[in-house]
């Protein structure tokens, strides 16, 4: 068993990992507007302690040379755009295939048609690199058991199916695969994507991984109800993994049935595509089918199980590797540390190939860790460069979540993608009334570890587990561990500042103005999405009469007394002064703000409305909601009802909050 240095329970926050950050700067974060209990996470001792010494890190940057050829590459993050900006110290942000996904969709179908490349299911170009290059479980049975010295087990879908039906599908995901759209309408399509019929050329397996759940090591977890069908290479050379969630038991199912219900599958399908529409890196969803069989579920763990319609969603991602995919092998002792090395090489080769092409002749080094520590040369160790990029991608992802008001709900290390993607949509939720302590997960209620305000710190905590795993395998040094975590803090703050600046239509970041706004929103429980959308209607006119200042926001400033009204007027006056000083024309600013402030988000009550109809056999609301969420920044005349505030019934259990079993 590898030895890890342990750390007692303590307070852990982003501020410890950047010289540009301090506790006073937490006014930049939503958590700053609530009590201090939400500004960081209390971490219990890990069992066993997989943690590298978390001494507070103070940066001592030493830039020996930054070659002119290493211009900062602007990452494509959908509509949120490139958020590497001021404060980034001129560091390199490496573009990867993940950031190119959106551009692959733009015009991808036209290119495929021109090349005659749109394919039938039988013509997909399979390339099973994961199976070919990584150690396999010698057994292929589905008996629940510990799977040792392996990254996966070969299994086949086994869910019982009876007259499966296609509920919904994504044309944009079909484009990623070069799949002919008419394939969705072939009569055997539901049978293939329920696992009842094999997909020609596929090679199915379930992945082995572990994870920390709510801060405690949970041991082996793995794909307990998800079965990968294989990897497809499209005409642009991009690799896409297809996976059926709810397809039956695997060795990782433990005591569960390996199945999924229509309710949770609709939520996963819609949120995968909604997040893509928002410009947030995410796994995707090709299609959703019912199985025609019932599945028993106890939604609230209260002993009241009921039968629900079964369903299977086909998830698509360049990889479903997680932090826990690496952790499991570190916890199994020295003989499995080589698997971490093998898996790291595989991941870099296929998903971070630019890191293998770095020139060692470029002398790039950065100080990290405690004063007097050695410099970090990212060109001399691809694993160090990789850990930094994983940290930065994760920071960018979490900043994007904070920008659109998304709360994941279950940020365990087995639910954190190594590619910086949103993954595993369970009891998620978007903010309605702004509440930094909001958690959509009933399981999280006692400590609210995964509440909205804590997500930035949780992301860093999870990156600490990842870097500790690489350190245990002797792939990175302590200085490189510190540097990766330091980069997370700086990257998050850079991007969060940039997002909030653009949400307000400002020309530069204004800490006091944004902090005061978030405080006002929390006090008055203002709807997060609708407020920022309406804010674009404010005119930069300092002569606006005081009694007219709040008229553009009257739809979201509800039931506020005179004292609170004066607080908002005071803020609005300062805001207008800032707009005037920026010199940006009103219409130009409005267009820019509306491009980053969505009109439509996947509110839980909208999901529930679609679920209620689907459970009665009517799938039109699921399909209609999908179309709205694919273009959340557009006005979409006639769809205004999808931007309404939640009705009273939306706050009942099972709608606004769900359990992990949901």
Catalytic residues: 414
SS3 (DSSP) at 199: coil
Query: Cβ(366)–Cβ(392) under 8 Å?
Result: no
- State the DSSP string of 77-103: BTBT-----TTSTT------GGGGHHH
Pairwise CA distance, residues 214 & 449, whole Å: 7
Phi-psi region of 322 (alpha: psi -120 to 50; beta: other; left: phi over 0): beta
Task: Please state the length of the chain.
Answer: 662
SS3 (DSSP) at 258: coil
Pairwise CA distance, residues 93 & 466, whole Å: 20
Residues 6+ apart with CB under 8 A from 25: 15, 493, 511
Residues 6+ apart with CB under 8 A from 62: 365, 366, 367, 375
Residues 6+ apart with CB under 8 A from 86: 494, 497, 509
Residues 6+ apart with CB under 8 A from 269: 167, 168, 285, 287, 288, 313, 622, 626
Pairwise CA distance, residues 502 & 83, whole Å: 10
Q: Which residues pair with 375 in a beta bridge?
A: 367
Q: Which residues pair with 168 in a beta bridge?
A: 288
* Sole residue written with tokens 């002398």: 363
Query: Cβ(456)–Cβ(437) under 8 Å?
Result: no
547-574 per-residue burial string, b: 16 or more CB within 10 A, e: under 16: eebbebbeebbeebeeeeeebbeebbee
Cis geometry, peptide bond prior to residue 588 (ω within 30 degrees of 0): no
Query: Cβ(28)–Cβ(496) under 8 Å?
Result: yes
* Sole residue written with tokens 């529409």: 277
């Amino acid at each position: 068993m590898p030895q890890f240095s342990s750390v007692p329970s303590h307070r852990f926050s982003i501020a410890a990992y950047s010289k540009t950050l301090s506790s006073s700067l937490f006014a930049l974060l939503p958590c700053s507007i609530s009590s201090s209990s939400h500004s960081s996470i209390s971490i219990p001792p890990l069992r066993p302690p997989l943690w590298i010494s978390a001494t507070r890190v103070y940066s001592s940057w030493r830039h020996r040379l930054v070659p002119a050829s290493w211009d900062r590459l602007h990452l494509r993050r959908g509509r949120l755009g490139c958020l590497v900006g001021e404060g980034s110290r001129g560091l390199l942000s490496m573009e990867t295939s993940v950031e190119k996904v959106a551009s692959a969709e733009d015009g991808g179908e036209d290119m495929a048609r021109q090349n005659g490349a749109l394919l039938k299911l039988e013509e997909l170009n399979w390339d099973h690199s994961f199976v070919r290059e990584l150690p396999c479980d010698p057994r292929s049975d589905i008996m629940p058991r510990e799977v040792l010295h392996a990254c996966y087990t070969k299994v086949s879908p086994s869910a019982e199916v009876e007259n499966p039906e296609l509920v919904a599908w994504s044309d944009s995901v079909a484009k990623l695969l070069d799949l002919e759209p008419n394939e969705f309408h072939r009569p055997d399509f539901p049978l293939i994507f329920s696992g009842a019929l094999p997909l020609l050329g596929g090679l199915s397996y379930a992945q082995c991984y572990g994870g920390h759940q709510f801060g405690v090591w949970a041991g082996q977890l793995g794909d307990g109800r998800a079965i990968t069908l294989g990897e497809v290479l499209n005409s642009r050379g991009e690799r896409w993994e297809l996976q059926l969630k709810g397809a039956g038991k695997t060795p990782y199912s433990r005591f569960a049935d390996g199945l999924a219900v229509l309710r949770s599958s609709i939520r996963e399908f819609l949120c995968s595509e909604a997040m893509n529409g928002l410009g947030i890196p995410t796994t995707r969803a090709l299609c959703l089918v019912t199985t025609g069989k019932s599945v028993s579920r106890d939604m609230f763990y209260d002993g009241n199980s009921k039968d629900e319609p079964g369903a299977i969603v086909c998830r698509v991602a360049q990889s479903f590797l997680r932090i826990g995919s690496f952790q499991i092998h570190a916890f199994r002792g020295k003989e499995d540390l080589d698997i971490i090395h093998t898996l790291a090489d595989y991941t870099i080769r296929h998903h971070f190939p630019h890191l293998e092409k770095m020139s060692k002749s470029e002398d790039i080094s950065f100080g990290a860790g405690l004063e007097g520590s050695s410099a970090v040369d990212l060109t001399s160790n691809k694993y160090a460069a990789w850990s930094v990029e994983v940290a930065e991608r994760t920071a960018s992802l979490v900043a994007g979540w904070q920008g659109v008001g998304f709360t994941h709900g279950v940020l365990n290390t087995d639910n954190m993608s190594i590619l910086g993607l949103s993954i595993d949509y369970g009891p998620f939720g978007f903010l309605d009334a702004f509440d930094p302590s909001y958690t959509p997960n009933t399981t999280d209620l006692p400590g609210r570890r995964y509440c909205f305000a804590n997500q930035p710190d949780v992301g860093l905590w999870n990156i600490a587990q990842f870097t500790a795993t690489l350190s245990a395998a002797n792939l990175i040094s302590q200085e490189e561990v510190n540097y990766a975590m330091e980069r997370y803090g700086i990257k998050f703050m850079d991007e969060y500042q940039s997002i909030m600046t653009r949400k307000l239509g400002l020309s530069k970041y204004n800490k006091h103005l944004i902090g005061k706004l978030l405080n006002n929103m929390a006090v008055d429980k203002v709807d997060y999405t609708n407020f920022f959308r309406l804010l674009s209607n404010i005119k930069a006119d300092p002569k606006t009469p005081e009694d007219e200042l709040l008229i553009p926001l009257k739809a979201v400033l509800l039931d506020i007394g005179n004292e609170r009204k004066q607080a908002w007027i005071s803020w609005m006056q300062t805001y207008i002064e800032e707009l005037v000083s920026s010199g940006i024309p009103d219409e130009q600013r409005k267009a820019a703000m509306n491009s980053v402030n969505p009109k439509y988000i996947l509110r839980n009550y909208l999901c529930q409305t679609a679920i209620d109809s689907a459970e009665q056999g009517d799938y039109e609301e699921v399909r209609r909601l999908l179309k709205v969420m694919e273009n959340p920044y557009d006005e979409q005349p006639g769809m205004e009802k999808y931007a309404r505030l939640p009705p009273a019934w939306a706050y009942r259990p099972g709608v606004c909050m769900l359990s992990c079993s949901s």
